[in-house]
């Protein structure tokens, strides 16, 4: 999930350096609490997080940090909800995480061109960070590329960050004669993605038949949390441009099956604690 220009640190939403309790809590709020009225008592959250092996003290300290960062806000009676300013972020994240989108070879490419002076280096860093989180590949220093299907998502993220005035966005076709497959391998680090996808498959392929509601909830939350990172690495590159037998396809199918199988039991577990 990208964070745009909010004061929220994207690392609190995206588990880039390993999954931490805060990331799991963000998933619980984003997937479950939003669907059950938007508000949860701390005691219920602690019970949910215990299913994930996180003890009460860690939950409370993690909630405190998320509150300090503006991700969570306090309601009366010791309850919490997500900041309303982040609803658009989570809605966009839902579409990316649970939607199945992949460009076709003939679809247009989205180009993001920018030039920010050295005196505004922090803005340049912020802009590059947003493009990276959306899944753009880098053609050159100020020219980035992605499948055209994320054009609307990109425009929204840049406007939220207040950076749209620095960026020119173009939709078009590539005219160069060099093989596009080779260019894609230069723009995106596919070799670095492969072990991440393989790790996801190895971790979760044995959890498809988890019937216990508490265990299904834990597996579902962990799968969503890890997939949230992976789905932003590949912004829907055409399958014909990816290596043969690309592990990302297998990982995507596994996540979809995990979601379909685990969510009903996980929802029953959540409902029992939210009533």
Q: What would the pLDDT profile of 211-268 be if each residue is shown by its tens digit?
A: 899 999 999 999 999 999 899 888 999 999 999 999 999 999 999 999 999 999 999 9
Apex CA 17: angle with CA 13 and CA 18, to 5°?
85
Give pLDDT, residue 78: 83
Q: Whole-model pTM?
A: 0.88
Q: What percent of the chain has pLDDT over 90?
A: 79
Coil, helix or strand at residue 137 = strand
Please state which of the ranges 81-85, 118-122, 185-189 shows the lowest mean pLDDT.
118-122
Pull the structure tokens for residue 132. Answer: 């990276």
Quick check: 124 pLDDT over 70? yes
Residue 126's CB is within 10 A of a number of other CB atoms, namely: 18
Report the share of the chain in percent with pLDDT over 70: 93
Share the mean pLDDT of the chain: 90
The two three-digit tokens of residue 75, written as one number: 């309601």
Model confidence pLDDT, tens digit, residues 27-41 = 999 999 999 999 999
CB contact at 8 A, 45 and 27: no
Of 16, 17, 13, 18, the C-alpha closest to 28 is 13
């Amino acid at each position: 999930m990208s964070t745009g220009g909010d004061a929220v640190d994207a690392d609190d939403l995206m588990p880039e350096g390993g999954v931490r309790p805060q990331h799991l809590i963000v998933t619980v709020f984003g997937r479950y609490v939003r669907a059950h009225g938007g508000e949860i008592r701390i005691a219920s959250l602690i019970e949910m997080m215990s299913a994930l092996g996180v003890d009460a003290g860690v939950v409370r300290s993690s909630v405190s940090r998320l509150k300090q960062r503006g991700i969570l806000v306090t309601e009366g009676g010791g309850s919490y909800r997500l900041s309303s300013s982040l609803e658009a972020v989570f809605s966009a994240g839902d579409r990316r995480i649970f939607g199945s989108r992949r460009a076709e070879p003939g679809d247009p490419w989205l180009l993001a061109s920018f030039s920010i002076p050295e005196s505004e280096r922090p803005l340049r860093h912020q802009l590059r960070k947003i493009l990276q989180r959306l899944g753009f590949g880098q053609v050159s220093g100020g020219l980035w590329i992605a499948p055209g299907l994320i054009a609307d998502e990109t425009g929204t993220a840049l406007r939220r960050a207040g950076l749209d005035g620095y960026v020119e966005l173009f939709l078009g076709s590539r005219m160069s004669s060099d093989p596009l497959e080779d260019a894609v391998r230069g723009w995106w680090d596919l070799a670095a993605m492969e072990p991440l996808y393989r790790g996801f498959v190895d971790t979760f392929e044995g959890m498809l038949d988890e019937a216990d509601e508490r265990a299904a909830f834990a597996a579902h939350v962990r799968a969503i949390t890890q997939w949230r990172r992976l789905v932003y690495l590949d912004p829907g590159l055409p399958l014909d441009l990816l290596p043969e037998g690309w592990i990302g396809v297998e990982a995507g199918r596994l996540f979809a099956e995990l979601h379909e199988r685990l969510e009903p039991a996980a929802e029953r577990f959540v409902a029992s604690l939210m009533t």
